[in-house]
Structure 1
Amino acid sequence: MSIELAPPTELPGADDTRAWGQALAARLRAGDVVVLTGELGAGKTTLTQGLADGLGVRGPITSPTFVIARVHPSLVGGPALVHVDAYRLGGAPELDDLDLDASTQDSVTVVEWGHGLAEALADSWLEVE
C-alpha cells in the first residue's frame, strides 16, 4: 500500500476526523488494512465513519465492540468495508478465528485496537494513531 496523505498532527474535532477519513478513503483499495490505535474516545470509530462515507458503503457505522466485526457492503461498486474492534480479543489466534483473511483481498479492513494483532492480516498496513 502506498499512501501519501499526511494527517495533521492532531485532528481538532469529530468533523475534521470524518473529513480526513473521507480523504484517506479515496486512496484506499481492496486489500488495504488500516490499524487504528489510540485511547478510548480518541476518534477511531469517527475516523472509520469518514472512511465509510468516502468508500460509499452501507451504514450506519458504529463500533463493533460486542459483535467484534461488521461487513459493510459497497453501494457504489467499490470494495466493502470490514470494521473490526479487537479490544476484547485475547490475542492473534482469536483474530485468526474470525477468518478475516478470507475477505481481506476484496475489502478495505479497518481494525480498531489492532496494534500487535492486525498486522498478520497483510504484508503491509497503515497505522493511524
Structure 2
Amino acid sequence: MSEWTLSLTVDGPERTQALAERLGARLRAGDLLVLTGELGAGKTTFTQGLGRGLGVRPGIISPTFVLVRRHPNVPDGPRPGGPDLVHVDAYRLGSAAEVDDIDLEDTVDTAVTVVEWGTGKVEHLADSRLEIVLERAVGAAAPAPVAMPGAADGAEDDAEDDDAEPRRITLTGIGPRWAGGPPPLDPPGEGPAPGH
C-alpha cells in the first residue's frame, strides 16, 4: 500500500478554503477523505473549499446532527457532470458497523466522500483514502461552538470563519489511487504552497 505525507501551513479560513478548493478540483468520484482535527480546527471550512473545487451547490455546513449531507454537483458550475460531495460527521458513530448503518457504500463509488471524525471507522469503505489532519497553532484554545442563525437541525458553526490563526494541514495518501504522490496544490502562477 503506497503512502506519502505532505504538510502545509495556511493562515486563516480563506487560505484553508483556497487550498481545499485546489484539492477539490483534482478529486474524482470514489475518492474517500478522512478529516481529523479538534473542534474549531477547520474541518467544515476545509470541506467548504473542497465543495467549491468540486463545483457542488454552495451552503456546506457541518452535518453534526444529521450525520450525512449530500451536496449535488451544479450542472452549470465549474465542473459540470462532476461528482457530488457526501459530507459525513462520524463523531457520534462508535464503530465501522455503525458507519455501515448509514449506507455510505451506496454512494462511495459515485461521489467524493468526506468524513469528519472517521479515523478507525471508515477505512473499509475504499481501497484508497486521503487522510487530512488539521491542527490549530500550538497553545491556542478552541473556540466555543456558536449557534448558526437559521441553520437546519440546530447545526452549529464552530467559529472557524472568525479564526485567522495559522493551521497546519497534513495530507497522507494511502492506497493505489494516491500512488503517484500528492496532487499539485500550488496556486496558479505561484511557487510551492507555504510550508511545502
Shorter chain as denominator, the TM-score bin is over 0.9
Q: Distance in 2 between matches of 1:104 and 1:117?
A: 14
Structure with more strand by fraction: 2
**1:48 has 2:40 as partner:** no
Is the 1:7–1:20 contact (alpha carbons within 8 Å) kept by the matching residues of 2? no
Q: How does 1:1-129 map to 2 (within 5 A)?
A: 6-8=6-8, 10-75=9-74, 76-129=80-133
| DSSP 3-state at the match of 2:93 | coil
RMSD after superposition: 1.6
Structure 2: distance between partners of 1:11 and 1:92: 32
Alpha-carbon distance in 1 for matches of 2:131, 2:28: 15
Higher helix content, 1 or 2: 1
Following TM superposition, the consecutive aligned residue runs of length 4 or more in structure 1 with deviations greater than 2 angstroms are 4-7
In structure 2, the CA distance between the partners of 1:87 and 1:18, relative to structure 1 (3 Å rule), is same
Q: Following TM superposition, by how much is the alpha carbon of 1:77 offset from its aligned partner in structure 2, in angstroms?
A: 1.4
What TM-score comes out, normalization by structure 1 length? 0.92
CA offsets 1:3-22 (integer angstroms, 9 cap, x no match): x99451x2221011100110
- CA distance in structure 2 between the partners assigned to 1:50 and 1:66 by the alignment: 21
In 1, distance between residues paired with 2:68 and 2:110?
A: 16
CA distance in 2, matches of 1:24, 1:6: 13
Partner of 2:184: none
Larger Rg: 2
* TM-score of the superposed pair, with normalisation by structure 2: 0.61
In the TM superposition, what is the alpha-carbon distance from 1:118 to its structure 2 partner?
1.5
Aligned pairs, number: 126
Q: Point out where structure 1 has 5 or more consecutive residues left out of the alignment.
A: none
Structure 2 residues not aligned, in runs of 5+: 75-79, 134-196
Percent identity over the alignment is: 60
> Is contact 1:37-1:114 (8 Å) kept?
yes
Shift of 1:97: 0.4
